[in-house]
Amino acid sequence: MANSFTDGKTRILAVASGKGGVGKSSVTTNLAVALARRGAAVAAIDADVWGFSMPRMLGIDRPPEVVDPDAERPLMIPPEANGVKLISMGFFAREDQPVVWRGPMLHKALEQFLTDVEWGDPDFLIVDMPPGTGDVSLSIAQFLPRAEVVVVTTPQLAAQKVAQRAAYMAKKVNLAVIGVIENMSWFRADDGTAYELFGAGGGQELADDLGVPLLGQIPLLPALREGGDDGHPIVVSDPASEASVAFARIAERIHVELAPKRIYRPELRIT
């Protein structure tokens, strides 16, 4: 087993949303890179097996390397870009190829991503969850019971209510929700005016309902979308932008302010 992620050394962040279209993968990608830019060792799993997009967003166009392919369980070396090691269904299927799998196959794929990849000893494992509350969420709860969940929503009330279900699902399977990120919070025009195209207050309302902090608000920027399409995350291509500053602040809060108070020492045993 390459790394079971059960010894407490790695913080596991599951980035979830109730629905698609809220920019969850863009948030996951830029958050992972922002943590790496703080000096953390970061690994990521693109567990959105139906809507995999992180290879393109991180700018990775090469598959994992296989170590000792003749072994009973060959290990994969994940490719890395912008300080983030990544494994994704996108390395094993074309972008235009649908993944038509039932729960057991998804469960097995996720298990292999966790155990058949030589991850090293990262400080963070970021998991880009599929939207909703289905099989992958249940598998994450089983494989990664210490995962901390970050919920992504837009300010829109309808999106906030759907995101709430993902948070309740996490709590139901005993995963800790640690915060909310509001994406597409406003669009800032050339004259500096901020237009709240998707309404206002959804992220704060969700955070208040869950009893967790609103970690940050990400503005709607064309450069953020363009960076995802081109493989140049905005936190790297334009670190001074309003969105990049927001991601850097969110990464700092997660890394420092929300750092676990409990210290896991697997070598200590109570007898």
pLDDT digits (tens, 9 = 90+) for 23-51: 999 999 999 999 999 999 999 999 877 77
What is the H or E stretch that residue 12 is in? strand 11-16
Q: Where is pLDDT greater, at 132 or 231?
A: 231
Q: Convert the pLDDT of each residue in 201-243 to its tens digit.
A: 999 999 999 999 999 999 999 999 999 999 999 999 999 999 9
Q: Dig out the tokens for 11 from the structure.
A: 């913080």
Fold adopted by 12-257? Rossmann fold (3.40.50)
Per-residue burial over 3-12, b = 16 or more CB atoms within 10 Å of its CB, e = otherwise: bebeeeebbb
| Cβ contact 251:28 at 8 Å | no
Burial annotation 134-167 (CB, 10 A radius, 16+ → b, else e): ebbbbbbbebbeebbbbbbbbbbbebbbbbbebb
Mean pLDDT value of segment 136-162: 85
Report CA dihedral (138, 142, 144, 146) to the nearest 10 degrees: 100
pLDDT tens per residue across span 227-238: 999 999 999 999
User: Residue range 63-71: average pLDDT?
Assistant: 79
Domain definitions of the chain by residue range: 12-257
Length of the chain measured in residues: 271
Q: Is the Cβ–Cβ distance between 67 and 77 less than 8 Å?
A: yes
Whether residue 132 has pLDDT greater than 70: no
* pLDDT of amino acid 111: 82
| Centroid of chain to Cα 30 | 9
- Average pLDDT in the chain: 86
| CA of residue 114 relative to chain centroid, distance | 15
Whether the pLDDT of residue 264 is over 70: the answer is no
CB 178 within 8 A of CB 212: yes
Contact between residue 202 and residue 167 where contact means Cβ atoms under 8 Å apart: no
Q: How far is 58 from 228, CA to CA, in rounded Å?
A: 7
Torsion over CA: 136, 142, 144, 147 (sign): positive
Beta strands in 20-131 (DSSP E): 42-46, 65-67, 75-77, 80-81, 84-88, 124-128
Question: What 8-state DSSP symbol labels residue 89?
Answer: G
pLDDT at residue 270, as a whole number = 41
